[in-house]
Amino acid sequence: MHAALIVMAAGMGSRYGGDKQVDGVGPNGEFLMNYGIYDAVRAGFDKIIFVIKPDIKSLVEKMAGEGFKHLHTADGRPIEVLYAVQDFASIPDFYHVPSQRTSPLGTVHAVLCARELVQEPFCVINADDYYGQGAYRSIYKELQHLPEEGHAAMVGYLLENTVSAYGTVTRGVCRVEKAQLTHVCETRNIGLLPDGTIAALGEDAPHILEGNTVVSMNFWGFKPSIFPLMEQYFHNFLGNLGDSEKGSAYFPIWSGRC
C-alpha cells in the first residue's frame, strides 16, 4: 500500500527557544525527525512530505530530504520526498491576517498546506517528537482498513511516559470508550508535583491526572477524503478568530469539546 508521511516542521519553537526541528541531535548532526522517518519507511511509507517555513527549506533539504531520496521500503519501493510551505499565502481571501502575527496557524493549517501533494492514505507527525518504531507499523496497518468518510486513527501514549521533569508540557488528553476515541481535550501546563503526581497546573488548584491516561502526541492517520472536513473546520475557525495574534487550529480541539 502506498502511504504518505506528513512531517510538521514549521513551528516556531517558542518554548524551546529556537527551531528545535533543525537542531542536530545525532552523532553526525541528524535531526530528531530523521529517526522517525527511517522508522516510517521501514513500516511501508513511501512518500515523505515536509511542511516547513520558507526560511528553512534549504536546510531541511540538505540535512534530511536529500538523504531519504535514496531509501527504499522493505518491498523495494523508492521514496518520494516533497515539500509544502506553511505560510500566510495559503490563507483564504476572506480572512485578513493581523500584521503583527508571525506564528503559523496550527496543525490543521499545516496539513491543508500539503493537500495538493497527497493522493494516498497518510499520517501526520510532529518533527520534534520521537514516536518509536512500533507506532509507525501500527498506523500503517490501521490505514489499510480505515473507512473513507470522515474517519481518523490516532496512536495514543500513556501520559506518565510523556511528561517532563524539566518543565510543563501540552498534551491532548483522550477519552476512550470501548476502544474508540470519542474526543481529545487540549490540556496545557501538565507537570509533575513534588511528590511525583501528574497534574495540569492552572491558576486554581492543580487538576490531578492519572499516569495511565491516554494522550495524543499528534500522531494521526487519515484518508484523503478527510480534507473537505479539515477545510470546513479551518474556515469556521478563521471566521471566529478575529484579530488574535496567537489562535491556532489544532487537531485536538477539532476532535471534540473539553
CATH number of domain containing 72: 3.90.550.10
Residue 129: inside a domain: yes
Query: Is a pLDDT exceeding 60 seen at residue 14?
Result: no
What does the pLDDT read at residue 23? 52
pLDDT digits (tens, 9 = 90+) for 170-205: 899 998 888 788 888 889 899 999 999 999 987 677
Distance between CA atoms of 151 and 157, rounded to whole angstroms?
Answer: 20
Structural domains in the chain (count): 1
Residue 184: inside a domain: no
C-alpha cell at 14: 517558542
Domain range for 14: 4-154+218-251
Residue 208: inside a domain: no
Residue 235: inside a domain: yes
Residue 112: inside a domain: yes
Distance between CA atoms of 156 and 174, rounded to whole angstroms?
Answer: 8
- DSSP 8-class letter at 9: -
pLDDT digits (tens, 9 = 90+) for 93-120: 999 999 888 888 999 999 999 999 999 9
Residue 68: inside a domain: yes
C-alpha cell at 57: 527549506
Distance between CA atoms of 135 and 131, rounded to whole angstroms?
Answer: 6
Query: Is a pLDDT exceeding 50 seen at residue 143?
Result: yes
Residue 247: inside a domain: yes
DSSP-assigned states of every residue in the chain: ---EEEEE-----TTTTS-GGG-B-STT--BHHHHHHHHHHHHT--EEEEEE-GGGHHHHIIIIIHHHTT-B-TTSPBPEEEEEE-SGGGS-TT-PPPTT--S---HHHHHHHTGGG--S-EEEEETT----HHHHHHHHHHHTT--SSS-EEEEEEEGGGT--TTS-EEEEEEEEETTEEEEEEEEEEEEE-TTS-EEE--SSS-EEE-TT-EEEEEEEEE-GGGHHHHHHHHHHHHHHHTT-SS----HHHHH---
Distance between CA atoms of 168 and 38, rounded to whole angstroms?
Answer: 29
C-alpha cell at 92: 483564504
The residue with greater pLDDT, 124 or 9, is 124
pTM, entire model: 0.86
Residue 176: inside a domain: no
Distance between CA atoms of 130 and 157, rounded to whole angstroms?
Answer: 12
C-alpha cell at 109: 493549517
